Amino acid sequence: MKNLSPVSGIHSVRAALKFGSEGVTELWLERSRHDRRLAEVTALARQAGVNIRQMERAELDTAAAGTNHQGVLAWVRVPAARSEAELTALLDRLEQPPFLLLLDEITDPHNLGACLRTAEAVGVQAVIAPRDNAVGLTPVVCKVASGAAETLPYFQVTNLVRVMEDLKARGIWLTGTAGEAESELYQVDFTGAIGLVMGSEGSGLRRLTRDHCDRLVRLPMCGQVESLNVSVAAGVCLYEALRQRRAH
């Protein structure tokens, strides 16, 4: 289907219908399959006014491109990343201290999707990433994000360092993660206006990005591995920030 992407699997399709039904154009159901979970998805689609088609399993297999569709597939419009001007407007109207996530050249769609899902869960108001050398909102990202790509504002900017300078001018304290940092994650204050800055999967934060952070922190590592997957590290940091902000 032109300009549309498939989202497959009961959990992902349910999330798309619950949190972004306006972007779902059609629902495909396996003709020979009937169970309670598919009935729930069908009911959500009908409530949203989404067209439903009964399809053969082979047609679902082809459209799902090898993923486990579980008898259901939704055709959705992938949400577009927002602009720098829209970021400024969002920050201007925030009534609570900003809680932001900045991702420096994340290229793996599974990592971005996982970061979006966690960020949405903890109440992050915006995720900011560079336009170049970074993955956008692809179908894989949206599937892994399980609805967060439709509800959490995702901004792609031309110059991440310049945006960081603008954020600091607003009084937003930027904390980057780096293995060689002196302070551990649990020793710093994440209350107030903050932006958490995470580096890429391989090389971490770029030098200029690192230099424009107000402080660097490291996650305590007790085993033999030197670092965590970026989406896991982001989850640890975001939930520590949430813990402090709720206590505060």
The DSSP secondary structure of 50-118, one letter per residue, reads -EEEEE-HHHHHHHHTTS--TTEEEEEPPPPPBPHHHHHHHHHH--S--EEEEESS---HHHHHHHHHH
Burial of residue 1, with CB atoms counted within 10 A of its CB: 0-12 exposed, 13-18 middle, 19 or more buried? exposed
Q: Which tens digits make up the pLDDT trace of 67-81? A: 889 999 999 877 778
In the chain, which segments carry CATH 3.40.1280.10?
Answer: 84-247
> DSSP letter at 3?
T
Q: What percent of the chain has pLDDT over 90?
A: 65
In the chain, which segments carry CATH 3.30.1330.30?
Answer: 5-76
Average pLDDT over every residue of 154-169: 97
pLDDT of residue 3: 61
Lowest-confidence segment of 19-28, 200-209, 229-238 by average pLDDT: 19-28
What does the mean pLDDT of the chain come to? Answer: 90
Handedness of CA 206, 131, 121, 168 (dihedral sign): positive
Euclidean distance between CA atoms 196 and 176, whole angstroms: 6
Q: Contact at 8 Å (CB) between 74 and 10?
A: no
Euclidean distance between CA atoms 85 and 105, whole angstroms: 20
When pLDDT is cut at 50, 70 and 90, the band that residue 87 belongs to is very high
Residue list for the binding site: 199, 219, 228
When pLDDT is cut at 50, 70 and 90, the band that residue 195 belongs to is very high
Q: Which tens digits make up the pLDDT trace of 203-223? A: 889 999 999 999 999 988 787
Q: Which fold has domain 84-247?
A: Alpha/beta knot (3.40.1280)
Average pLDDT over every residue of 17-27: 82
Q: Would the pLDDT of 175 be above 70?
A: yes
Radius of gyration of the chain (CA): 20
Residue list for the binding site for S-adenosyl-L-methionine: 199, 219, 228
Residues sharing a CB contact under 8 Å with residue 37, sequence separation 6 or more, in sequence order: 10, 70
Verdict on whether the full-model pTM lies above 0.75: yes
Average pLDDT over every residue of 81-91: 93
Q: Which tens digits make up the pLDDT trace of 95-128? A: 999 999 999 999 999 999 999 999 999 999 999 9
CATH superfamily ID and name for 5-76: Ribosomal protein L30/S12 (3.30.1330.30)
Q: Would the pLDDT of 1 be above 60?
A: no
